[in-house]
Every structure is written in C-alpha cells, then in structure tokens.
Amino acid sequence: MNIVTDIRAWQSIRENCATKKIGFIPTMGYLHAGHASLCERARRENDITVVSIFVNPPQFNQSKDFNLYPRAIEEDIALLTSHRVDYLFLPDEQTMYHDHYEVQVTENALSKELEGAYRPGHFNGVLTIVLKLLNIIQPLHAYFGEKDYQQFMLIKKMVSALFLPLHIIGCETIRAEDGLALSSRNVRLNAMQREKAAHFPKLLHSDLSPAKITEQLQSLGFKVDYIVEQWGRRLGAVWLDEIRLIDNMLLRTIR
C-alpha cells in the first residue's frame, strides 16, 4: 500500500490512472470490521481502492470529544494493507484547512433535523470535508456505511445538487455479535457500559413503539436524544454517561 500525504502527489498519481475506476472510502481512522467490509466491496467493484484517514475537527461539537477520539494509525495501516488497499491518503489539518474553515458547505433542510438539531454545525463539518476529499481523490464510487444514515442521505444530496461525477454507495451496517453497530467510539465503553449498550439495538429492532422504546431505555439508565421513525427507518440516538451512540433499522425488518 502506498501512503500519500500531499495533495499534489496524489494529483500526479491520479493523472497516471485516469482510465481506472477508483473506489474511495473516507474515514476518521481507528478502523474496524465495518471499514474492512467497505474496503472489500470497493476492491471488488473498482480497479483502485483509496482510503483516507483524517480526524475532522469541525464536525466535533466539543473539543473534548475531538481529543478523546481514538487514534491508532499503525494498526490502521496494518488493516488496510491486509485488505490490499492500494492507497492511503493521510493529510494533516493544515493541508485540509489552509483557509481556516472560512469556506463551508451548508445544507438548510435535512441537516436541521435529528442529528443536526442535537449537534449544531456538525453536518457543515461533514459535508465540507467530504466535498474536499471527493474533489481531491476524484473517485467513480465512494462508499459509506449506513449507520450514520442521515449523514449518508446528506452526502448523496450534496453530490446530486453539485453535479459531482461519481456514485455514492451505501453499505449495510456491520454489527458485533450482540447487535451493537460497530463504531470507532465503542472502544470508549467500559465492560459494564458495553454490556448495557447491547440493549440499544435490541430495543430499536423490537416491535415496541418509539415511545415505549424510549421509556425502556431511560429505565435502563440511557439518556435518549430521540427514537423516531422516518425515511423508512427507525432511528435513535442515546447517551451512556458521556458516550453517544446512534443507530437505525429498516422499518420492514422490525420484529
């Protein structure tokens, strides 16, 4: 695997593979089996697979959360190498935000709901960095997990609105044996929290109403931001102490 940190170096590489299909997976690192599944699909559907790792400051609502976000670059490199990824794009903050975040991408409808209501400015940060990365890498296909379903919809909307010449591909959420959606943040859960966290996807997937699910989660010690049904899905966001979990299920799969 080749590691590229400089935009001009990547642009030179990109010119030399202009006829190749490129599949791209943007990440914030601390990679897990969910990321690995995206890499495997990208490899099957493209000539070249590119992964980026960049922990994006503007999408964090609190500096503490940004500082606590787990990082393990050597392990990430090993995982990507084992899955035969061709290129890792590994820029620094100065490279990606030489404008000091003075230019931002804003969506004024979907981004105001759910996650947008609870995390003001979050989606500006997400859309801005994704647009930058798509413009740099210039893939044919870009792959996103569906755990962050609202984010996935917003990225598709941005690509359509701005006429970007690529396809955004959503991939099914990968889960642990107990049903918890894999997430880089899960490493912050201690043993007791990890055991309790498994109730979240189990209740989200039950035949209970959103109100009853909220009630049961609260009785278990969760703080509930929302449990709602829209976009053909049941979506939820909860807190276990200082750790926030999000998830969603297709409504037709609800028991």
Residue 135: name the closest of 10, 2, 3, 46 by CA: 10
- Both tokens of 40, joined, read 């495997």
- Both tokens of 105, joined, read 């991408």
Report CA-CA distances (Å) from 76 to 24, 54, 81, 85. Answer: 16, 12, 8, 11
Rg, C-alpha atoms of the chain: 18
- Both tokens of 219, joined, read 């009785």
Residue 100, classified by CB atoms within 10 Å of its CB into exposed (0-12), middle (13-18) or buried (19+), is exposed
What is the C-alpha separation between 151 and 115, in angstroms, rounded?
9
Query: Which residue of the set 32, 35, 199, 205 is catalytic?
Result: 35
What is the C-alpha separation between 194 and 101, in angstroms, rounded?
36
What is the C-alpha separation between 215 and 209, in angstroms, rounded?
10
Any idea how long the chain is? 255
Among this protein's residues, is 35 annotated catalytic? yes
φ and ψ of 56, to 5 deg: -90, 105
SS3 of 131, please? Answer: helix
What is the C-alpha separation between 142 and 42, in angstroms, rounded?
8
Instruction: Please list the active-site residues.
Output: 35
